[in-house]
Amino acid sequence: MTRLAVAIFGLVLAFWPTASLAADAGTLTIAPQDQQAREYTLEDLDSMPQETIRTKTVWTEGVVEFSGVVLAHLLADAGIKTGTVKLSALNDYSVEFPVDEAGDDYPIVATRINGEAMPVREKGPFWVIYPYDQSDDFRTETIYIRSIWQLNRIVAIE
């Protein structure tokens, strides 16, 4: 299992696309399949209903408070209700995500950590966050892989 994961990471590493960086790091592009893609700025997300998750993470120290928009709401806002989306980061790291698995409360697309906006150097500005402390179910490999930071694009792929 572990070996397999290492192998996968190895592959991902080997074929990493080098310079296909998106235009603006401060915006989140959401592209439904049959509609025009929308660009969300930090202000756009701030204007939407906010959700807060207090939790520890394996990447941070102590309990921290993340706040932002629930992913499912964001997708719905962009016109994506079903299917699978591909979440991509600034460094082109991406992961596939079935829309069905997006809950009403989690994950959120966090825009603030402890009330502060997150620069790129601090894994911002958009970070997918689950309530990891809530259950063992949120401390699995799959969940960690989906906890993508420096989120930049969401593309519906089917």
Partner 1 sequence: MRVLIYFLIAGLIVSLGLLGARLQRDLDTLYQVDTNGMIWTVFQIEAELATLRSTLAEQAATAVPDSSLVRLRTDIVLSRISLLRSGRSRSFWEEISEAEDLLGALERYAQDAARVIDHPGALDQDDITALSALTGATRPQARRLAVLGVATGATASEARRAIFVQQLERTGFVAFVLVAGLTVVLLYLDRLLLHARRRDADLRVSSQKLASTVAASLDGIIVTDRAWRIVDYNEAAQRIFGWSKDEVVGRRLNETVLPSLGRGEESSQGFRLPQTGTSRMEATAARKSGVTFPVELNVTTSTKGDGTRIAYFRDISEQKISERHLIDARNQAERTDRAKSQFLAVMSHEMRTPLNGILGVLDLLKTTRLDVRQRRFVDVAAASGEILLEHVNEAIDITRIETGAISLTPQGFALPALVARVTDVLRPLASEKGLTLVAEISPDMDRSFFADSGRISQILTNLLGNAIKFTDAGQIHVDVSGIHGPERSQVTFRVSDTGPGITPERLDDIFEDYVVLARSEGRQSRGDGLGLAISRRVARLMGGDLKAESTLGEGSVFTLSVPLERMGEAPLAPPPSPAKEQRPKSVLIVEDNQINRSVLREMLVGFGHSVYEAENGREGVAAAGERRFDLIVMDFRMPVMDGIAATRELRGTAGPNRGTYILGLTAYGSDEYRALAEDAGMDGFCTKPLRLSVLEDTLSRLEHFPAPRPAWAGSVDQTYRSGLQEETLSGLERTLGQDELRSTLAQFLKEFEEALSRWRRPGEDRQELLDDLHRLRGASVLFGLNDLAELVDMVSAGVDDGTTWYLEDALSALEAELVSTSATFADEIGSANLGPVS
Q: By the 8 A CB rule, do 31 and 86 touch?
A: no
Among the listed ranges 42-50, 51-59, 70-78, 80-88, the one in contact with partner 1 (CB under 8 A) is: 51-59
Judged by CB under 8 A, the residue of 57, 67, 94, 111 near partner 1 is: 57
Q: Is 98 in the site for partner 1 (CB under 8 A)?
A: no
DSSP 122: G
Among the listed ranges 10-18, 34-42, 68-76, 77-85, the one in contact with partner 1 (CB under 8 A) is: 10-18
Nearest of 74, 69, 68 to residue 31 by alpha carbon? 74
Q: Quick one: tokens of 151?
A: 């989120």
Q: Is 60 in the site for partner 1 (CB under 8 A)?
A: yes
Q: Is 114 in the site for partner 1 (CB under 8 A)?
A: no
Number of residues forming the site for partner 1 (CB under 8 A)? 32
Q: Is 17 exposed, middle or buried (0-12, 13-18, 19+ CB in 10 A)?
A: exposed
Calculate the CA dihedral of residues 140, 142, 147, 149 and round it to 10 degrees. Answer: 130
Q: Is 15 in the site for partner 1 (CB under 8 A)?
A: no
Among the listed ranges 40-48, 78-86, 87-95, 108-116, the one in contact with partner 1 (CB under 8 A) is: 87-95
**Angle at Cα 111 formed by Cα 109 and Cα 113, nearest 5°?**
115
Report 125-144 residues binding partner 1 (CB under 8 A): 136, 139-141, 144
Q: Is 1 in the site for partner 1 (CB under 8 A)?
A: yes
The beta strands (E) that lie in the chain are given as 28-31, 38-40, 51-55, 64-70, 84-89, 94-98, 108-113, 116-117, 127-129, 151-156
* Interacting residue ranges for partner 1, rule: CB under 8 A: 1-3, 5-6, 9, 13, 16, 18-19, 21, 25, 57-61, 90-91, 93, 119-123, 136, 139-141, 144, 149-150
